[in-house]
Chains A and B, each alone.
Chain A
Amino acid sequence: MLSYATRRVLMLIPVLFGMSLIVFSIIRLIPGDPAQTILGTKATQEAIQSLHHALGLDKPWFVQYVSYLKDLLTGDFGTSIRTNAPISQEIWPHLAATMELSFVAMIIAIFFGINAGIISAWKQNSIFDFTAMVIALIGVSMPVFWLGLLEQWGFSLELHWLPSIGRDNIRNAVNPITHFFLIDTLLQGRFDQFWVVIKHLILPSVALATIPMAIIARMTRSSMLEVMRSDYIRTARAKGQRMFWIVYKHSLKNAFIPILTVIGLQTGLLLGGAILTETIFGWPGIGRYVYNAIQYRDYPVIQSGILVIAFFFVMINLIVDILYAVFDPRIKYR
């Protein structure tokens, strides 16, 4: 188990290295000049040149890459061209914001998705099954940004039930410690703020949860169906076991591996793919952070942002792989 985990971690190194190289070269291909962006319409040729020099953009790209890599290894993400701020400080609040949102969305998606899938499989071909699966199909076909807009329109603009943007009350802002506001407010004992934070989470997380929920429900159903046709489930029934336990104990644990795969995949996707939801709900997350940086050609930020996202993506895969071993004892010995 341990060696399996180490092996997986070691395998990450070339992937991460490759990723950094790809990211680095991709963004150098992006036309547009950060200096021009910074200086805007007031730019003169001279000003651009001296800014280039100040930013080190006039060196050959591999020199830039090597020094970037060197910094990375020491945990230094560099500084934003635009704001001059060290990225390592800037990035965490954004990442935490996205992580909190994704986490809540994933909890919603997993809870409803798995249960809907299980019940659908258990009561295959029933009305519940049919309805749940049609809803799930619509769910996977739903453009998130559209759903987000509709949600915002209905629940916020028309009904005024929930806030439309942001993650906390601007006037009564959460004092960040970990930048996970749910945790921070609890740590500070601010239950009023906690409640506000929850309210802010509802709309975006539901929008974000739709697709994973639908995918998880579908995967759970098909995986459960497959498992429930298997010989060992027949064995369990032949023992006289109750259906409930067969479904929730025997089948679920077996069916969980493919479900885990999609959960992992979807979680990873949420991290970077939340851009659209973040745009609509003014969520100060990592997706928008990088997206904006692309707009401003803020190379170090794009670089580090994408890398961090990819890193988490890979880490989630790793965790999933390790979790496989928890759910499937056969894997440890592979």
Chain B
Amino acid sequence: MTDPVLDVKGLKTYFFTDDGQVPAVDGIDFHVKEGEILGIVGESGCGKSVTSLSVMGLLPSPPGKVVDGKILYNGEDITYASESRMRQIRGNDIAMIFQEPMTSLNPVFTIGSQLIEAIRIHRKCSKKQARARAIDLLKLVGLPRADELVDEFPHQLSGGMRQRVMIAMAMACDPKVLIADEPTTALDVTIQAQILDLMLKLNRETKTAIIIITHDLGVVAQMCQRLVVMYAGKVVEEGTVKDIYNNPKHPYTKGLIQSVPDMREKKQRLYSIKGSVPKPGSIKKGCQFAPRCEYVMTDCLEQEPQLTGNEHLVRCLLYRE
């Protein structure tokens, strides 16, 4: 087996706010190998975005800070790398696309100039060459009229087109890892299908490892090989997509999968997890999911479960050895 390109170990990212310390990410482990597509699912506020920003070194700081853990890129520890080293990595080795295509492009610069900038930061080339490359990239992501688009402004493009531009920009320097933070949440289903299709294609062609962050279980099921399920800043389950969908272990994962209506058949009644996602840090002791868990045991309120198992890992006292 090949070594992972990106390996995150025990990452903890806290926010130090006026209201106290918020453990947005509270010990996360995952890794991704070359050419692999990893999914990270979790509900809003569970720390998905913070994880990805931590990896990129883009946390708003203050108040955010990585307090523990390691981020290894190709074996190199970049957790506390210098800003200049991080600048070399960003865009070049690890690229990122964001949830909101409407606001992620700078409205006052043309598509072309933003793409050219992305290229010229990491590649020595003339403006002309960069422009040619930009047009190629736009074609690569399936945008029509690429040579006109370079001179247009973001507001002249639809959401789906902008997301393609974002992908083109991310792919500009052939990164090894592409982190996509909810890349399709803001898009319509038909457009989502286009974008996902594009990402799959790129993954196949360039062997770029992709981390898809989403809350949509459907997207994960269709796209990913492996899956990390997050809850309240922690990984609660990790494994291959098939394993997890066919045999979810953690009560949260189970509940999540069951509570989604299935388009193919009408369930009489949806399963539902009671309560709502807690604010990070509000549950101080025991399992974060305990207050909502159907299978809660007295131990759960006291003891913090660990991630156990191999290949298919789960963080639940039900599975302790």
The reply to whether the CB of A75 lies closer than 8 angstroms to some CB of chain B is no
Q: Which residues of B contact A254 (CB under 8 A)?
A: 106-108
Cβ contact within 8 Å between A330 and B98:
no
Cβ contact within 8 Å between B91 and A234:
no
Cβ contact within 8 Å between A240 and B108:
no
Give the contacts of B212-267 with A (CB-CB under 8 A).
none
Cβ contact within 8 Å between B90 and A232:
no
Cβ contact within 8 Å between B98 and A234:
yes
Cβ contact within 8 Å between B87 and A232:
no
Contact indicator per residue, chain B 107-137, by CB within 8 Å of chain A (1) or not (0): 1110000000110011000000000000000
Q: Which of A232, A235, A241, A327 has the most CB of B within 10 A?
A: A235
A21–B98 Cα distance when bound, in Å, is: 55
Report B160 CB to chain A, min CB distance, Å.
Answer: 17
Cβ contact within 8 Å between B90 and A239:
yes
Q: Which residues of A contact B91 (CB under 8 A)?
A: 238-240
Residue on B nearest A229 in the bound complex, by CB: B60
A125–B56 Cα distance when bound, in Å, is: 24
The reply to whether the CB of B89 lies closer than 8 angstroms to some CB of chain A is yes
Interface size class of chain A, counting residues whose CB lies under 8 Å from the partner chain: 20 to 34
The reply to whether the CB of A253 lies closer than 8 angstroms to some CB of chain B is yes
Q: Which residues of B contact A67 (CB under 8 A)?
A: none
The reply to whether the CB of B24 lies closer than 8 angstroms to some CB of chain A is no
Cβ contact within 8 Å between B155 and A232:
no
A333–B92 Cα distance when bound, in Å, is: 35
Q: Which of A234, A240, A327 has the most CB of B within 10 A?
A: A240
Task: State the total of A-B contacts with C-beta under 8 angstroms.
Answer: 72
The answer, among A229, A232, A327, for a CB contact under 8 Å with B106, is: A232
Q: Which residues of B contact A327 (CB under 8 A)?
A: 108
Given contacts A231-B98, A329-B153, contact A241 B121 (CB under 8 A): yes
A239–B165 Cα distance when bound, in Å, is: 13
Given contacts A231-B103, A330-B107, contact A238 B87 (CB under 8 A): no
The reply to whether the CB of A236 lies closer than 8 angstroms to some CB of chain B is yes
The reply to whether the CB of B66 lies closer than 8 angstroms to some CB of chain A is no
Contact indicator per residue, chain B 47-77, by CB within 8 Å of chain A (1) or not (0): 0000000001010101000000000000000
Q: Which residues of B contact A233 (CB under 8 A)?
A: 106
Cβ contact within 8 Å between A230 and B103:
yes
The reply to whether the CB of A90 lies closer than 8 angstroms to some CB of chain B is no
The reply to whether the CB of A7 lies closer than 8 angstroms to some CB of chain B is no
The reply to whether the CB of B43 lies closer than 8 angstroms to some CB of chain A is no
The reply to whether the CB of A226 lies closer than 8 angstroms to some CB of chain B is no
A-B contact pairs, 9 of them (CB 8 A): A235-B105, A237-B58, A239-B169, A240-B121, A250-B109, A329-B107, A329-B108, A329-B153, A330-B153
State the 10 A-B residue pairs at the shortest beta-carbon distance, nearest first: A240-B91, A240-B90, A239-B91, A232-B106, A231-B103, A329-B153, A240-B87, A231-B104, A239-B118, A238-B96
- Residues of B participating in the A interface, judged by any CB pair closer than 8 Å: 56, 58, 60, 62, 83, 86-92, 95-96, 98, 100, 103-109, 117-118, 121-122, 153, 155, 166, 169, 172
